[in-house]
Amino acid sequence: MSTDLTPSEIEIGLGIHNESGYSRLSPIPKLAELVPRLLDLLTSTTDPDRSFVPFKGKDNIVLLVNNLGGISELEMCGIVAEVRRQLDARGFTTSRILSGTFMGSPSLSPSSTDLSFWNV
């Protein structure tokens, strides 16, 4: 994939150094539709290339939402709230939420974020 996105596209799984991602979506879905897709990718235990943690669905987790530099604090709060809501609906217990700019990247789109979580 090239690194040029149209204004109506997003790329899932884009690397921190602008490496090509896992897939592109167009048109850009609403946050409530995007988050389940991301959570499915992060929690699936059926993909041997991406399944590193054996999530069981009732896991106690730490959620990290990293703003790579171009999203406002207000938008980050909305993203975190939606991810938390959908994690709760899936039966996960969120022990801690870390949200902010922990690592930025000047080579990425100004609206890039990173969503990660760990089993604790």
Instruction: Give how far Cα 73 sits from Cα of 39, 97, 99, 100, Å.
Output: 22, 15, 9, 8
Whether residue 19 lies in the annotated active site: no
Q: Which of 2, 4, 17, 106 is catalytic?
A: 17
Pairing assessment for the beta strands 60-67 and 93-100 based on DSSP bridges: parallel
Query: SS3 of 39, please?
Result: helix
Q: Which sequence positions are flagged as catalytic? A: 17
